Amino acid sequence: MQLRYLFSSLLAGCLCFAASAQEQLGLRVHTYAGINGALLNPAAPANSPFVWDLNLVEGAAFFSNNYAFIRDTRALDLLKARDNADFFSAPDFADDAELPANGFLVDFYDDGRKQFANMLSSFTGPSFFFRIGEAHTLGLITRARFMATGNGISDNFSYFVYEDRPFFETFVVEPFRVGLMGWSEFGLNYTYAVETGSCKLAVGATLRYLQGYDAAYFRNREVFDLTKLPGRTLSGTPVDFAAGYSDGILAGEDYELARNGRGFAADLGATYTLGEEEGAYDWKIGVALLDLGGIRFNGAKHRVQTLDVRSVTAADYDDIQNPEDLEEKLRVFSFQTLSDSSASLQGNAFTMSLPTAFSLQLDRSFGEKFAVNATYVQGIPFGESGVQRGALLALTPHFGNRWFGAALPVSLYNWQQLQLGLSLRLAFFTIGSDRIGSIFSRRDFSGTDFYFAIKVNPFKLRSSEKGHKKGFSRGNGKRMKAGNAKVQCYDW
């Protein structure tokens, strides 16, 4: 039952912190994305019709899970009641009881799938690119990000499965990882394009310097058996746990944001465009590796490896009142599992991996104003600890011109949640959600998504694009060629 209340509190905190998008497709995949498109593929600026593009501010947030949901509500209701919302456990709430005005019922999934809970918020500050001739672009990206992720957690911990399990029945716990991290980044983006005929190959990279603020992680490294015993006690066969937290994570009410680590990262990508003519294209193919890198944090690093069966009683941890108490309870856990309260401590620094991912994009144009994009993103967990992207498969029809645009992404998140989005762009302002129903429609609520951007760029498109729109064909020599003109176009 303690697990129920804990999750309700965490869920409430997440929803009040961020009403949130994993990839912000409405900002990334269209022709006029500019520097914002580099966050999905660092080669994207090479295909921009602008000579330069400046992002003033971009904000995005995302939360999704398959452990619990709030009955019959929407993000607007939660936002309205954020200061005085009350959350109640649906299994314990009487059918004939009346829900208070700002009350919400938290219920739990029971679908036999592994559990996940992922949250992110990001703030992209002044960022830009400018074109150097026809072959090169150079850009700068500034960004702050927070992520909290848990993936691959056994269904044996789902609420109804665990609560209904008889005492003395053993179940299997498979490896899983949980992490949270806050950091800022300053990145230098560069692209190079080479074109001939109706084809263009562009490659790009973003190299980033990272400043870490705070982080924590927990990892179950091996499969083990767990038994539920009376008295809120758990007994486990030999386990191998790893955990860590930065120096500021236990500060509680005295918390102050301060740099607590540093690192480096890179994004690598390429695009291949086919059939460029009259300012349009037939196909555009992109591939990228995102967030390759990590941050070294100052803080405690723990490891618990047991050689025999050990038991832990939840009552020993009931008196946790604030984050400062967790350090003492780690010593209690170390004594219960290793017979030494300090044996679990392994060091005073640890490395957190960024949410590394592989991304594939395919865009089919049906004229100058309408195209359909398919995007696949797969998180790749690296290292002992870190935060992890969820999987995303999306199909995004997008329509627009220089001054107006719209996108309607349909996406499958973590191979479980099908969601519909909408974004609208008017000149220099974009607003959207990859899960629009969670904001306006009352239903079972397990997450939400929101993003916006304000930017400026030239009123006119660059000269080579204008030449196309005025009717100059590639064959009449009016279009400038970038790079090596001997490169042959693949016959699609």
DSSP line for 21-80 = --S-HHHHSSTT-GGGGGGT-TTGGGG-S-SEEEEEEEEEEEEEESSEEEEEE-HHHHHH
Residue 491 forms part of a structural domain: no
Residue 42 forms part of a structural domain: yes
Residue 250 forms part of a structural domain: yes
pLDDT tens, 254-281?
778 889 999 999 999 999 999 876 557 8
Angle at 423 between CA 48 and CA 142, to 5 degrees: 55
pLDDT tens, 4-49?
443 344 444 443 333 334 688 888 998 899 999 999 999 999 999 9
Separation between Cα atoms, residue 192 and residue 281, nearest integer Å: 19
Residue 393 forms part of a structural domain: yes
Residue 259 near residue 299, CB atoms below 8 Å = no
Residue 141 token pair: 């990206």
Q: Give residue 72's pLDDT.
A: 93
Residue 25 near residue 41, CB atoms below 8 Å = no
Residue 296 token pair: 């070294």
Q: Give residue 279's pLDDT.
A: 55
Q: Give residue 277's pLDDT.
A: 66
Q: Give residue 371's pLDDT.
A: 94
Number of domains in the chain: 1
Question: Would you give per-residue pLDDT tens digits along the chain (492 residues)?
Answer: 343 443 344 444 443 333 334 688 888 998 899 999 999 999 999 999 999 999 999 999 999 999 999 999 999 999 998 888 899 999 999 888 889 888 999 999 988 888 999 999 999 999 999 999 989 999 999 999 999 999 889 899 999 999 999 999 999 999 999 999 999 999 999 999 998 777 899 999 999 999 999 999 999 999 999 999 998 899 999 999 999 999 888 877 777 888 999 999 999 999 999 987 655 789 999 999 999 999 999 999 999 999 999 999 888 888 887 777 888 888 889 998 998 988 999 999 999 999 999 999 999 999 888 999 999 999 998 888 999 998 999 999 999 998 999 999 999 998 888 899 999 999 999 999 999 999 999 999 999 999 999 999 998 877 555 444 433 333 333 334 444 444 455 454
Rounded CA Rg of the chain: 25
Residue 486 forms part of a structural domain: no
* Domain of residue 421, residue span: 2-476
| Residue 449 CB neighbours (<10 A) | 30
CA distances from 475 to 278, 280, 468, 489 (A): 12, 16, 11, 14
Residue 233 forms part of a structural domain: yes
Residue 278 near residue 468, CB atoms below 8 Å = yes
Indicate the SS3 state at residue 378.
strand
Separation between Cα atoms, residue 232 and residue 309, nearest integer Å: 17
Residue 223 near residue 156, CB atoms below 8 Å = no
Angle at 210 between CA 221 and CA 220, to 5 degrees: 10
Residue 482 forms part of a structural domain: no
Look up residue 416 and give its amino acid. Answer: Q
Local structure of residue 439 (DSSP, 8 states): H
Separation between Cα atoms, residue 452 and residue 429, nearest integer Å: 7
Local structure of residue 11 (DSSP, 8 states): H
Residue 316: φ, ψ to 5°: -70, -10
Give the count of alpha carbons within 13 A of 402, CB side only: 14
Closest CA to 359 of 133, 25, 7, 123: 25
| Residue 366 CB neighbours (<10 A) | 12
CA distances from 239 to 78, 158, 223, 236 (A): 39, 20, 8, 7
Residue 275 token pair: 């059939």
Residue 229 forms part of a structural domain: yes
Residue 362 near residue 396, CB atoms below 8 Å = no
